[in-house]
């Protein structure tokens, strides 16, 4: 494994292990520890050999920034234990994953992907996002997994997962096409060899002409970091009134008319976030029948640029 591969697995493994530990801990109310280690490039039979017994396959389809789908695999037993913890239980295993349990796990990995993609987007300077997450339970046979994952080789990243009552390894699988795309986006793809330099042209100079040296070019130095080059970049803008945390079990109990109490008083200013960074504060107003945001406080222009770097 060369230095580029090592850096890639460090960045991607850290992004997913930290996001997964944070989401699992938040949704269960218990502390999870995660660690990432680069695995091997596996053919489909090698993927099937990663687990014994029924497995859960979580497939995430990219819709922006990348093309293709990546997958997580984890044992069915530990997957159902995780869901039981999220629903307020003590981590009891189940023989199948259906109904609310399947929905809860799908929402969990949606949050994991959202958090990890935000980290990777910051590293790449480009937004990555997924369209949807598919959850399936199957036997760990090459034929069954091939139907879900497709053929070809998969780069494995092993995510060791531990909590007081639950210990397992979740495998993160990148098909080769997606792997190469992500390496390029993160600036870690192998650079192509430079083209051969053309042989210098030999031109005969007139003998009667005196030798002259071209005058040095004068004029202003071009600023390659000109801010004008960045003004057309699109950034996500969010107006945040407040936030709260809740267990997955509480989330599934929400019905029309439910009230969520946020962590912000009614007279506190509303926040404007650009690319996840706080830029300004203000208030919500109505303009021509639509909600709008009126700025009352804003960072200086220099601070705004630095915060988005």
Tell whether 174 and 301 lie within a shared domain. no
* Least trusted range by pLDDT, from 56-65, 197-206, 253-262, 270-279: 197-206
205-253 pLDDT, tens digit per residue, is: 454 544 455 444 444 443 445 556 566 677 788 888 888 888 888 888 8
Q: What is the mean pLDDT of the chain?
A: 83
- Provide the token pair at 300: 């200086």
In a domain, 169, yes or no: yes
Q: How many domains does the chain have?
A: 2
pTM, full prediction: 0.64
Query: In the β-sheet with 154-163, what is the strand arrangement from edge to edge?
Result: 33-42, 154-163, 166-175, 68-75, 55-64, 129-138
Distance of alpha carbon 242 from alpha carbon 263, whole angstroms: 6
In a domain, 90, yes or no: yes
In the DSSP assignment, the letter for residue 282 is: E
What is residue 2's predicted lDDT score, i.e. its pLDDT? 75
Average the pLDDT over 151-178 and give the result: 92
In a domain, 191, yes or no: no
What is residue 264's predicted lDDT score, i.e. its pLDDT? 80
Tell whether 278 and 181 lie within a shared domain. no
Q: Domain of 139: which CATH number?
A: 3.40.1550.10
Task: Kindly state the helix (H) or strand (E) to which residue 121 belongs, with its residue range.
Answer: helix 99-124
* Least trusted range by pLDDT, from 22-36, 90-104, 212-226: 212-226
The range of the structural domain enclosing residue 75 comes to 3-185
Distances (CA, A) of 256 to 241, 253, 259, 260: 20, 10, 9, 11
Tell whether 31 and 133 lie within a shared domain. yes
Whose tokens are 């801990």? That residue is 25
């Amino acid at each position: 494994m060369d230095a580029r591969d090592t850096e890639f697995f460090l960045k991607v493994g850290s992004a997913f292990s930290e996001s997964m530990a944070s989401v699992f801990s938040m949704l269960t109310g218990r502390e999870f520890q995660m660690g990432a280690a680069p695995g091997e490039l596996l053919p489909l039979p090698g993927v099937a050999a990663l687990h014994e017994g029924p497995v859960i396959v979580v497939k995430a389809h990219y819709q922006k920034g990348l093309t293709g789908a990546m997958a997580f695999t984890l044992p069915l037993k530990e997957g159902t234990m995780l869901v039981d913890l999220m629903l307020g239980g003590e981590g009891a295993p189940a023989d199948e994953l259906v109904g609310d349990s399947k929905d809860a796990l799908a929402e969990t990995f949606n949050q994991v992907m959202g958090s990890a993609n935000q980290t990777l987007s910051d590293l790449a300077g480009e937004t990555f996002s997924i369209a949807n997450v598919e959850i399936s339970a199957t036997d760990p046979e090459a034929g069954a997994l091939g139907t879900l994952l497709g053929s070809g080789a998969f780069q494995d990243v092993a995510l060791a997962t531990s909590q007081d009552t639950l210990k397992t390894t979740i495998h993160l699988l990148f098909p080769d096409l997606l792997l190469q795309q992500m390496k390029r986006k993160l600036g870690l793809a192998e650079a192509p060899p430079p083209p051969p330099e053309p042989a210098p042209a030999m031109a005969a100079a007139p003998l009667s002409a005196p030798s002259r040296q071209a005058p040095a070019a004068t004029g202003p130095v071009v600023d390659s970091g000109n801010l004008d080059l960045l003004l057309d970049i699109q950034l996500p803008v969010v107006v945040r009134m407040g936030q709260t945390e809740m267990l997955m079990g509480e989330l599934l109990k929400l019905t029309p008319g439910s009230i969520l109490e946020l962590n912000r008083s009614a007279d506190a200013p509303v926040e404007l976030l650009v690319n996840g960074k706080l830029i300004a504060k203000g208030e919500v107003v109505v303009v021509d029948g639509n909600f709008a945001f009126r700025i009352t406080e804003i960072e200086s222009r220099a601070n705004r640029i630095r915060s988005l770097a």
